[in-house]
Amino acid sequence: MAIYVVGDIQGCYDQLRRLLDKVAFDPVQDRLWLAGDIVNRGPGSLEALRFVRDLGKRALMVLGNHDLHLLAISQGNRKHRSKDHTLDAILKAKDRDELLDWLRHRPLMHYSGKRGYALIHAGLPPQWDVDTALACAREVEGVLQGDGFRDLCQQMYGNEPHRWSEKLQGMERWRFIINSFTRLRYCDRKGNLALNEKGPPGSQHKPFLPWFQVPGRASRQDRILFGHWSTLGYYHAHNVWALDSGCLWGGKLTAIRLRRRSPPKRIQIDCAGKRRP
């Protein structure tokens, strides 16, 4: 059995299928892990969502910010709906309710003790070790999957609070957790999030650092797989693997194959994308 971990798809369904063909993915024997953002902006969001859903237990995905955006729009959050209409096919599909219900039951974080890897979409603040991160993920997953789902979809947007505290409660606490898992790229040494910094390392304002370069971060001993950061591209250092290599923007779609006794093997395909907004 092989495990392949794939970065952001963002509706690039045809490219996903080409990548899986390249690695000879066998849905009977192999497993697919996805770092989130399988929908939005690309032309095949509906097809990608159906494909991953139909793989059942053979596929594992964590939620990204674009996946959460789809859920928010589905719950009537018109304030944050953009001019991008690539989600319309999902929202108008006959099976939309089944697809959206499946999506809202995906985790924010996966950790495999057997494999020794954590899978997230974006980042972890430096105060969180893996156990804390998992507890925070499960807390918000409970809200997404429970009676507070619609209210969360109306109030999850925003950059505040920007620093973690165990004293945070309610929506402020959940918003910080969501922002960390699905939007984080940079923070300072104290863990203050810099959510407006989106460029490659070196473009950020002082005193911010890529979240995985903060000295002494609590998760530094754990191997972490993530996506979200297309301007970073494929990256491996500091015990992390960044897998969003900008397929949507004409970069590459990246997968790595996890191996027990050696580092992951990288596999990529070239993509014909569109201009960045």
Is 38 contained in some domain? Answer: yes
Is 88 contained in some domain? Answer: yes
Is 265 contained in some domain? Answer: yes
Is 277 contained in some domain? Answer: no
Report the predicted TM-score, pTM, of the whole model to 2 decimal places.
0.96
CATH of residue 219's domain is 3.60.21.10
pLDDT at 221: 94
DSSP code at position 127: T
Is 231 contained in some domain? Answer: yes
DSSP code at position 16: H
Q: Which token pair is 270?
A: 């070239």
pLDDT at 80: 60
What are the backbone dihedrals phi and psi of residue 57, each rounded to the nearest 5 degrees, phi first? -70, -10
Give CA–CA dist 99/11, Å, rounded.
15
Burial 159-197 (b: 16+ CB within 10 A, else e): eeeeebeeeeeebebbbbbbbbbbbbbbbbeebebbbeb
Is 80 contained in some domain? Answer: yes
pLDDT at 252: 97
Query: What domain range includes position 217?
Result: 3-270
Total domains, the chain:
1
Residues of the chain short of pLDDT 50, as ranges, are: none
Is 276 contained in some domain? Answer: no
